[in-house]
Amino acid sequence: MWSITKRDTAVRVLLALSFAFAARVGAQTSPPPNEDGYDLWLRYRLVPDASRLAEYRAAITRLVVPGDSPTLRVISDELATGLQGLLGRTIPIDESFRVDGSVIVGTPRSSRTIAALPLVAELARAGREGFVIRSVKVAGKRAIVVAGNTDVGALYGAFRLLRQLQTNASIAELSIMDAPRIQLRMLDHWDNLDRTVERGYAGQSLWEWKRLPDSLSPRYRDYARANSSIGINGTVLTNVNANAKVLSPEYIAKVAALANVFRPYGIRVYLTARFSAPIEMGGLKTADPLDAAVRKWWRNKADEIYRAIPDFGGFLVKANSEGQPGPQDYKRTHADGANMLAEAVAPHGGIVMWRAFVYSNEVPLDRTKQAYDEFKPLDGAFRSNVLVQVKNGPLDFQPREPFHPLFGAMPKTPLMMEFQITKEYLGQDTHLAYLGPLFEEVLRSDTWAKGKGSTVASVIDGSLQHYARTGIAGVANIGTDRNWTGSQFNQANWYAYGRLAWDPRQSSADIADDWIRMTFSNDSTVVKPVKHMMLISRDAVVDYMTPLGLAHIMASNHHYGPGPWAKLPRADQTPSYFHRADSIGIGFDRTAAGSNAVEQYFPPVRERFANRDSVPDAFLLWFHHVGWNEPMRSGATLWDELVRHYYAGVDSVRSMERTWIGIQGKIDDARFDEVESFLGIQEHEARWWRDAALQYFQTFSHLPIPDRYERPAHPLSFYLELHCPADRTRPRCPAVY
């Protein structure tokens, strides 16, 4: 159990008393029935707004889904279930137009009614996966048409119509046309064949390999439903630190069984390919990508996979990084390795996603430069069915990083974005950190590759450099926990990723609004405060962990608690390599006077980051070594500004706690209590981060924490002795407070 001080107890009691009274006064009814979070954002509960419910019931009286393909059956099932739950009555499924209120769903091929409507121009703009939703008249009767050029497009439209009802929006005079801006919208699972999950904080892997292919968990279908509802169309089932065994006939049959479940939902399966598989599985003496026998082995393996899974998507590869085998083992390039695999899957329409996260065995001058240095010279050397998958920042999914300089720098090579949905460095399963603003911040960053407005989003959606193939990937945060993601709010990161993968121009605030309405309530007294919590949460984590551009000062291995003092055998795994604190100041000099990593950006970005007067405070210590007493733009010294950010992070978490207590009684008790418990853990651990990091940096600055701030609970020596488990035991460090 946590050891809580008397002060903590008093604060918690006062908060509970003040906000519990307000909650009781404001609540008109008892809390809703308890939920466990399994339904995610696909909660089809009766619409509570009486006037809106009347509107919906008048507009929807029949469901018409002609045709009998697997996807059309999915559409019919989803709409029937969703409408029954939302409207509180069964909606007949037939083809009668004798009354107002038919919802007609399909394609011009599956539905003669849709084919006869004047939708040709709009459907042409919608493309293969887009859809049109229109209020129309059919045989003189009012109807709603959901049309796509393909069954999958119609499915996306069906989910969009359900979202309209779930978010309490009007369905009078509907006029919606939407289509994805990115072709490949991937979810990457770092799942191992023994069902452990690397950087997973939500239980075991969903994939029950020992029971496949004969036994299919119902969660597979629900997983597919959730992904399809937000437009995700591909899933990589296995860890990038790959196991060649997944390419064996035994496992190909298991993968085929999963593919059969996912296919009606528009989701293709992909696998990670271990580069040394020809040696480990094929008995060859080499995995050299230019060796004829190796190339033949991969072609035969691809043929075998496609015989079992005709719509297999292709391979994701991590090579020559963190000890993984790759083409450089044979003095070949990344392009040589990627092209060999691309050649094998090309006859089947497959692709290769080659990760640009390269982490050399040699310690570099600046680890953030390596991907650019290795991949920029290869622009134009990759086959047309290869995409290079680039992390959002040049280091490693930190709470905040500048965008990766490769974006915009490889106009002849399609670049995919790789985000991390699982919160490896942002509090993992317990801390509330809504990542929509992180994703949006990166996507809206201007690369200046072709002048002002050359955003990262315009690079990855192909509009800037006219890529024939476009893609985006998110490292999944999903596991066997009943709520899927380890906490209720982690679901929002999965949801936000999918929505931004569909259209990277969307607002993370608008997405949060939809998620709250679909997940918790349409009550404005819930939506407004919870949305505020979500929108400040990521900056709160940055403030109490790594403010002002600090990075990678987490404890080693598990990356959970603070560890700026950690000592490791390899320099570029050691926090001091990144923070560079000394008696003069703190920060990594990446200007021309230092590692010159700033040179990798286009000139306007380079000049902004390199100049102390123009670099954003958020990236100050990423690009500059700054003296402890140097003045900031605020007028405060660096030390005082660093202290202010660390304390502001804790204050933000306390604000989130107060906000959450204020909605008690307006959502179900089970989910309320879980979130309240996690926020309590987060507040304790935010103080742990703040007190430990500031006292450690004090050993270099020799400056005091101003008297206006509360004192650290323990001396630095206390934190240096803490050893936190690298597992999901909650709480992880019970002796912190």
| 5-9 LR contacts (CB < 8 Å, sep 24+) | 5/713, 5/737, 8/737
> Which residue among the candidates 379, 396, 503, 617 is catalytic per the annotation?
396
User: Which among 312, 215, 335, 199 is positioned nearest to 256, based on CA atoms?
Assistant: 312
Distance, CA of 453 to CA of 393 (rounded, Å): 19
> Which residue among the candidates 129, 178, 401, 424 is catalytic per the annotation?
424
102, 87 in Cβ contact below 8 A?
Answer: no
Quickly list H helices, 486-523.
490-502, 508-519
Helices (H) then strands (E): counts for the chain: 23, 15
261, 216 in Cβ contact below 8 A?
Answer: yes
558, 729 in Cβ contact below 8 A?
Answer: no
Distance, CA of 99 to CA of 734 (rounded, Å): 64
User: Which among 493, 513, 491 is positioned nearest to 440, based on CA atoms?
Assistant: 493
Residues whose CB is less than 8 angstroms from the CB of residue 712 and which lie 6 or more positions away in sequence, other chains included: 690, 691, 694, 695, 705
351, 386 in Cβ contact below 8 A?
Answer: yes
Is 424 an annotated catalytic residue? yes
> Which residue among the candidates 322, 510, 582, 727 is catalytic per the annotation?
322
Residue type, 554: M
Quickly list H helices, 403-448.
436-443
Within the chain, what is the greatest distance between any pair of CA atoms? 83
113, 134 in Cβ contact below 8 A?
Answer: no
CA angle 401, 406, 409 (to 5 degrees): 140
Is 396 an annotated catalytic residue? yes
Residues with catalytic roles: 322, 396, 424
